[in-house]
Amino acid sequence: MSIINLTPSQLRQAANIKEKIEQLHKQLAQLQGTKVTVASAPAAKPAAKPAKKKISAAGIARIKAAQKARWAKIKGGAKPAVKPATKPAAKPVKKARWAKIRAEKSAKK
């Protein structure tokens, strides 16, 4: 039965019973010499933690290189390369491949 469907006299009776239970809990705690821990409402769920954003390996490498450069500047040492080396040979190969594909398409027309 829902609390919405209860009559006022039933609600008052339920409140009286609850008060009696709380008093009995207090009396029991006094006899045992412990603190009273009566929960009047259910405990709220803790807020969900937001998802952590992951940094890519390249991003971590950039951060590390920048930090090394800062320390080198402070200590007066040689500056390491800030940007990690890339594969320069891959770019012309891709360009040649796509040029070949475009030439084949234009020949078919």
DSSP of 42-86: PPPPPPPPPPPPPPPHHHHHHHHHHHHHHHHHHHT-PPPPSSPP-
Signed CA dihedral, 97, 102, 106, 109: sign only:
positive
Percent composition of the chain: helix, strand, coil (DSSP 3-state, to 5): 60, 0, 40
State the pLDDT at residue 3. 76
pLDDT tens, residue by residue, 11-42: 899 899 999 999 999 999 888 887 655 555 55
The stretches in the chain having pLDDT less than 50 are: none
